[in-house]
Structure 1
Amino acid sequence: MATMKLSRALSAATASYGVFALVQPDHLPDALGSARGDRDGYRLLAQAYGVRDLAISSAGMFGSPAVVRAAMRMRIAMDLGDCALLALRTEGDVRRKVMGVTLGWGALNIAALLIDRRD
């Protein structure tokens, strides 16, 4: 039976981000250099990310191998969606940072999923 160790580890890391996003929602508007009028919206978005990431990560940490694979695929799709949406709202260095983080995390999740498939 596949243990999905890397996928479970990345799910745990994503869960820790979820907790951070709920406890420190200002991190997102700060990182995005948001305008004063956008800060509340980005704080709410950070909290939504926190709830979403905790839910999907719970499945990725504690589910059966089939559930872990599904959770990882959803995580990858969410990273791509986050990249697309946030890249539309940012520019310059902030856009590069957003794309680097979201695409980088998505790529790590893809790698873990592919490596775990070999088990």
Structure 2
Amino acid sequence: MTGRSGLVRVRLLRGVGVATAVYGVAVSVVPDLLARPSGLVDEEGRVASATRISLRPLAWRDAASGLALALAPEGPALRTAAYVRIAADLGDAVLLGMTLPDRNRRRKAVAVSVGWGALSVLGLLGGGVSRPVGVGLRRGRR
């Protein structure tokens, strides 16, 4: 990587992307994975059909943005994918933090959302990009 894109911690961003994509696909198939920890259940602990329906697009957004982060070419495309992921995570923190039915669950949702966003921010800050094997090494030296 050269220029400004050299500052990006590509492995970290790719890892965030893969994890987000996998989680997004899982929640789109089984929305209870997000609904239950968020407290979006009735008195008997069941997740309403309407809740499942409304969580699937959110999960698909995570799958798509995670996939973009995992596969975008290094440089402006990868940075843009990271910005989209950060915006989604911060949006989740604000919206879930204001609207989930239980204060403790709101705090946890904010912490998780901000945490994932922070990982992408760290990836953009750079400073820890490892060079490809052999780059910068002189022959005969290790």
Query: Which category describes the TM-score, using the shorter chain as reference length?
Result: 0.7 to 0.9
Partner of residue 12 from structure 2, selected from 6, 13, 20: 6
What corresponds to 1:115 in structure 2?
A: 126
What corresponds to 1:87 in structure 2?
A: 97
Percent same amino acid at aligned positions? 34
CA RMSD of aligned residues (A): 2.4
What corresponds to 1:75 in structure 2?
A: 85
What TM-score do you get using the length of structure 1 for normalisation? 0.84
Q: Distance in 2 between matches of 1:118 and 1:5?
A: 8
CA offsets per residue over residues 10-48 of structure 1, 9 Å max, x none?
111111111111121012221122243983343234311
Q: Does 1:48 align with 2:57?
A: yes
Q: Distance in 2 between matches of 1:59 and 1:7?
A: 10
Q: Does 1:100 align with 2:106?
A: no
- Gapped runs of 5+ residues in structure 2? 131-142
Deviation at 1:104, TM superposition (A): 0.9
Name the amino acid aligned to 2:32: D
What TM-score do you get using the length of structure 2 for normalisation? 0.72
Q: 1:104 to 1:42 in 2, by over 3 A?
A: farther
Partner of residue 36 from structure 1, selected from 18, 37, 42: 42
Name the amino acid aligned to 1:83: A
CA offsets per residue over residues 70-116 of structure 1, 9 Å max, x none?
01111001111111111111242111111111111111111122126
Mark the structure with the bigger radius of gyration: 2
SS of 1:36's partner is coil
Tell me, yes or no, if the aligned pair for 1:8 and 1:68 is still in contact at 8 Å. Answer: no
Name the amino acid aligned to 2:89: D
Partner of residue 32 from structure 2, selected from 26, 31, 43: 26
Moved over 6 A (4+): none
Deviation at 1:7, TM superposition (A): 0.9
Indicate the structure with greater helix content: 1
